[in-house]
Structure 1
């Protein structure tokens, strides 16, 4: 208890918490986009419940991983060398997770381009073979990859486990609150789906590159994503203005 009181009265601890919370929220955007696109393939009656259950289980998994933080840190130790690069378990997890994300994004893009993904709501959900439990499984698989990466980063920012716990709970709470509105926004704006899938494709390739030892500054990735989202937002405003003029 004295340790927690001393931590709560330390300004440096609060600064570390704020920084870590922002980082967890930003890293959670990738996961949230994936969850929104995935659950939109389900019947509308199952979407909110699947999102809450998937994110809730992801929170429990992240907290469990934080309890084994010493083991996760050891995942960065090299286990073999290939192509003049020392691979660790973290590298292999990033490569596998990135490849999964690239495959999933490419598959969804193919569905939309070929017309298989046309439509929204219950009509689109009826043609999907996705079930709520398979969606939850995919959410947990991807969250495992992002969790390990974010925990390794968090350990480099602070040594206090309580701060990591609070940051993770706060970030997942934001995801829980934003999942529904983001899913509805993506469903109402089909062009945003392709943009979001493009984001996931880039993120997947970045994870693979990280696994092979090529560090890509995440600031560049998120700056490009923000610029693309701004351009798409301007296009949406332009289309809406044209529709309003056509109705006059």
Structure 2
């Protein structure tokens, strides 16, 4: 179905505070908060690549610049929505690959691939034994400017999904802008806390990277679905948001259960060692 042209709705101050706009604002703030979770996770993990003294500043400036650019992107996307929906090129190799690619689908596909590459690279680094025992300092540090640039770039990729979802609810620019500013304020408030939590609980860094890996799959699926992409005769289907969040909840639940079970095993071993010295040695019994 062809979308009808959309443009910015001009409203008076009285109309801005109508029940409809206030209801849309509440819904958009909730939507931005939910969709911003993976973005915040990425910012918290990537900021640890910057020099330790600059990490808080990197997160703060990365979010501020990204939010300003997101509002500009919102204005542009509303005005050029029909143009962005027009196919830029198509592929028609029947039985191999077919599809029509718009600007938005290219962003989704490129962004999804880049996020997956980043997550796999970071997971590989965490599993590498080359710098075993060096801890966090084994990470290759980047300059604060390069980390800020990467955070802003990735934030814009994440923005496409949230902005397109927001435009489907309303095209009243002040309402959309207030929702984006509110989500930005929430990210500024939570970024340091999330980063400190990951720093103290290194096991959750792998969990965060796995979530980002799933986000990459979601973006690839969304881009392929919007492009009506078929690979070797099979249609690329988008992962539903409910499936994504269910997967994330399962990952966190498994991690929490494993952490609790690990603490139980350590307590049992400590108790056995206290009452029966030598049971923690090889051949002395194990839990």
TM score, norm. by length of structure 1: 0.90
Q: Which has the larger radius of gyration?
A: 2
Q: Specify the alignment match of 2:94 in structure 1.
A: none
Find the aligned partners of 1:183 and 1:84 in 2 and give their Cα distance.
42
Find the aligned partners of 1:147 and 1:116 in 2 and give their Cα distance.
36
Q: Specify the alignment match of 1:44 in structure 2.
A: 52
Find the aligned partners of 2:130 and 2:169 in 1 and give their Cα distance.
45
Find the aligned partners of 1:65 and 1:144 in 2 and give their Cα distance.
8
Unaligned stretches of 5+ residues in structure 2: 1-9, 92-96, 226-236, 275-287
Please list, as runs of the form range in 1=range in 2, the aligned pairs for 1:1-248 lying within 5 A after superposition: 3-8=12-17, 10-68=18-76, 69-72=78-81, 74-82=83-91, 83-115=97-129, 119-121=134-136, 123-124=137-138, 127-213=139-225, 214-240=237-263, 246=270
Tell me the C-alpha RMSD between the 2 structures. Answer: 2.2
Find the aligned partners of 1:153 and 1:38 in 2 and give their Cα distance.
26
Q: State the aligned residue count.
A: 244
Unaligned stretches of 5+ residues in structure 1: none
Distance verdict in 2 for CA 1:91–1:237, change over 3 Å: same
Distance verdict in 2 for CA 1:25–1:240, change over 3 Å: same
Find the aligned partners of 1:73 and 1:234 in 2 and give their Cα distance.
48
TM score, norm. by length of structure 2: 0.78
Find the aligned partners of 2:249 and 2:61 in 1 and give their Cα distance.
29
The answer to which structure, 1 or 2, has the higher relative contact order (CA under 8 A, 6+ apart) is: 1
Moved over 3 A (4+): 115-121, 237-248
Instruction: Check conservation: 2:51, 2:144, Cα contact below 8 A.
Output: no
Find the aligned partners of 1:18 and 1:66 in 2 and give their Cα distance.
18
Distance verdict in 2 for CA 1:115–1:132, change over 3 Å: farther
